[in-house]
Structure 1
């Protein structure tokens, strides 16, 4: 990696290299570091002018756009908590987050006008705290938030306040204590985290953001990239060929991806996949959802060892594995990254030896967190100073972690533990399967039986003939006790744009007495 004496940090770069390109918007418009910081400063001054103080909360409901990043960095330099909201939510869901977080300001976008109005009204956000990019009835224009020039009077590091995806009940905010640090100083954790992937400051890096910025990892990768002097290219809606075109046009070096995107890329015709120059790629990072082994192998065959996987949590801690190591340890999510502790425990909290399956627990240094207003959930996720996301897995003799499934998704049929992710991984690579989910449904004798729900590939007709073909295929790849007993079909499975499957929505109708 090229060494540099340039000073990094968003505000430092803006001062020393104001013309350096920070962001390329979805429309192709370029925003310099000087321009991005000028807007972030003006928003920060405006938020302080309407009364927001250190520790207050600002909620942002905006698509991938430079204005959203300016709002984020306004909060980050003003000692504010910033909540970036999933714009797929409806009015009452956004209202819950506004109220639960105690938001003092709400920054929306005209694309989501109806939801923004309903949410702000239900949560009781005062007119003086409502601002929007474009026209939203009852909201001031975002330009009216801009106050004066230069940095805000009071500067101290703020923080994202992250809400869990809410696949089981109401989402919960993860709120960390503010550090009190100087916003100009890039946190060591940021440079350390990117260092895990071999990403340093400057070095002609270009980050491609193809997923919504309301996702924890997506926002984190974009924010750190800008702090380290990397240009960020924003996509509004992800499209596989558009991504390849942007990689070639902007000489993209890194991105954060999910397996669903890999599958759609691999589905492109061979001539389309081969016509773009992807030689600029250095590290294409994926996580957030399990990746079928065959999909991972095909991506490594195409892109080479630049494909790197990690397993991590909003709450802290994780593992990482590069492409070369994955080929030696197929299916692994890697070794604990520096400072992280990974243990596999049984139901009594005892540590299990290598090869034995249990619940995966982790810790990152001495970091602590709590779920906002939910001490019970915080305590339930912990054993001592370790916490769990509820994943089941094992460590091998070399310390590499392998995930089997979510504990909540485990199927127990006739007393035998069955992991749906394994079955999904096999069915997912069948050419007639667009997407698949596997879960347990009630069975009078066995307790549970295996149900698969399939989204057929484009142009494929669902029906008995497809079911027969898929079950025959599965029988060549899986033991008999792992085979689905039935297959249902849907035109589309309920996933969020970051690839996370809302399996509860599929499973609950079969378990009316267990639905929560």
Structure 2
């Protein structure tokens, strides 16, 4: 197991910032405003609740895929309680993990069977499914139910969250000392198989994806330096993407690590662009994470509708999906004081490459990013004309919970460096920039040629009248697999938007002939999951009927 460098932990840093700026706003949602001191106290109380029920850390792990902690499941919509759950767990040395709130009983039971939660923090609206699934677990977990206005009664045996906090001490836990080596578990979305629990040391997570670093990229490991940086900060970060996925959690916790206030839009069970933009204006937010066109297009429509200004907004941080070039250009026209930063990474790697501005050019690698050869045995040099694999070294996870085989396959040693290879294909160009071709899982082999779905999708989304596009493979007698594009087009009537000939002509200006879709399916439905990522399962079902 790698030897970690000196680092900070989330619980200690948050307490120190709260002591330095106790009355500054820490989290805002609707009419609720909690200061740093208030959040620090509430999370101490939650740590006491967990500790009183026997949860904590039990020795040390013998292997990188093992967790010595008890686990807290977070089955919540966005809101202050989600962040309190993350922070309170770390104060009790309990490992928190995310739960996709769209899961039905069997999916939830599979996830809990893998993660083995000793406690579940959930919104009241999920009480019926929690009551059913909890009966299927080997050991009954502690249930903490958060009121959400649904009026759903407590699940059998559950504790009301606010009542439990009110009855717990507000002091720090005696004899419990959070450590940078404590685990934070991030479950993948399951787009390439069953969800996998990625085991991050919280110290690595902070100096990696959470951005606890200086401007030159070197990590901040001194508590006084981190607190002074937070004391000077005045950022306000509006988090619209779900915290149940890595990008949302990293945006929120990264904001806290820098002393920023986290703001949530009023609606948290789905995207409401009008609400999002109005909240950004009212709360004078300075940074907003988005997820591709699924967020960018509705935000742009609200800005072009007029009546709302965002003069404080400086950064739109885009991850997990692409924003079309035209949408970027129009956003920057409406927000001339802001910048758009594209970041690409994964649950296993954090951010690996970045790109700024409206152009869809190559990415700039982070200092720890690597491009490996196709056989994954060596590091490529700039200009080698080989399609390889995007990888990352430095602050990376330990492995996958309970899975030594996948841990060994994904976390490898290449040229003396421990690296993670999450599955993105890439080419290292002569000037040191990186041309990203997309996930191997979305690569389509048609007639002996490999086609990267994301490349074709990018072209289609930039064609007039196309609002969104996903590209999938469909069985074909002639090609083995043929390419099918599933489109959401502008207009409300059948026949609106470009016809097939116009789409093929538009593709032909940018793509080789074998990459042009053989068929086009159209839908009025969104092609995105709640986190903005592509819903390839729905696209494949539509393509099969086209």
| Secondary structure of the structure 2 residue equivalent to 1:421 | helix
Give the equivalent residue in structure 2 for 1:88: 102
CA contact (8 A) 1:452 1:487 kept: yes
Which deviations, in whole Å up to 9, do the C-alpha atoms of 1:92-133 show, x marking residues without a partner?
A: 222222221121111111122222222222224526x11101
5 Å matches for 1:344-363?
344-347=372-375, 349-353=377-381, 354=383, 356-363=385-392
1:496 to 529, 535, 538: 529
- Equivalent pairs counted in the alignment come to 491
Give, in whole Å, the separation in 1 of the partners of 2:73 and 2:453.
Answer: 36
Normalising by structure 1, report the TM-score. Answer: 0.86
Does residue 1:216 correspond to 2:240, yes or no? no
CA displacement at 1:309 relative to structure 2: 1.6
* Contiguous gaps of at least 5 residues in structure 2: 1-11, 58-68, 148-152, 219-225
Normalising by structure 2, report the TM-score. Answer: 0.82
Give the equivalent residue in structure 1 for 2:131: 117
Mark the CA change 1:352 to 1:12 in structure 2 (over 3 Å): closer, same or farther: closer
CA contact (8 A) 1:335 1:401 kept: yes
1:371 to 367, 388, 400: 400
CA RMSD of aligned residues (A): 3.0
CA displacement at 1:478 relative to structure 2: 3.5
5 Å matches for 1:39-188?
39-54=42-57, 55-126=69-140, 129-134=142-147, 135-138=153-156, 139-146=158-165, 147-153=168-174, 154-157=176-179, 158-177=182-201, 187-188=206-207
Which deviations, in whole Å up to 9, do the C-alpha atoms of 1:248-299 show, x marking residues without a partner?
A: 2211111221112112223447342xx3222212222111123333433443
| Secondary structure of the structure 2 residue equivalent to 1:175 | strand
5 Å matches for 1:321-332?
321=354, 323=356, 327=359, 330-332=360-362
Mark the CA change 1:188 to 1:465 in structure 2 (over 3 Å): closer, same or farther: closer
Which deviations, in whole Å up to 9, do the C-alpha atoms of 1:61-95 show, x marking residues without a partner?
A: 11112122212110122211001211111122222
Give, in whole Å, the separation in 2 of the partners of 1:291 and 1:217.
Answer: 16
CA displacement at 1:352 relative to structure 2: 4.5
| Secondary structure of the structure 2 residue equivalent to 1:425 | helix
CA displacement at 1:477 relative to structure 2: 4.3
Give, in whole Å, the separation in 2 of the partners of 1:344 and 1:462.
Answer: 46
5 Å matches for 1:255-266?
255-259=288-292, 260-266=294-300
CA contact (8 A) 2:483 2:516 kept: yes
Give, in whole Å, the separation in 2 of the partners of 1:493 and 1:347.
Answer: 37
Mark the CA change 1:333 to 1:291 in structure 2 (over 3 Å): closer, same or farther: farther
5 Å matches for 1:464-483?
466-483=499-516
Give the equivalent residue in structure 2 for 1:410: 443
Give, in whole Å, the separation in 2 of the partners of 1:57 and 1:453.
Answer: 40
CA displacement at 1:418 relative to structure 2: 2.2
Give, in whole Å, the separation in 1 of the partners of 2:273 and 2:120.
Answer: 33
Mark the CA change 1:204 to 1:332 in structure 2 (over 3 Å): closer, same or farther: same
CA displacement at 1:465 relative to structure 2: 7.5
CA displacement at 1:30 relative to structure 2: 0.9
* Contiguous gaps of at least 5 residues in structure 1: 1-7
CA displacement at 1:503 relative to structure 2: 1.8
Give, in whole Å, the separation in 2 of the partners of 1:241 and 1:508.
Answer: 31
Which deviations, in whole Å up to 9, do the C-alpha atoms of 1:217-274 show, x marking residues without a partner?
A: 21122112123221111122432232222222211111221112112223447342xx
Give the equivalent residue in structure 2 for 1:3: none
> Mean alpha-carbon deviation: is it higher for 447-456 or for 411-420?
411-420
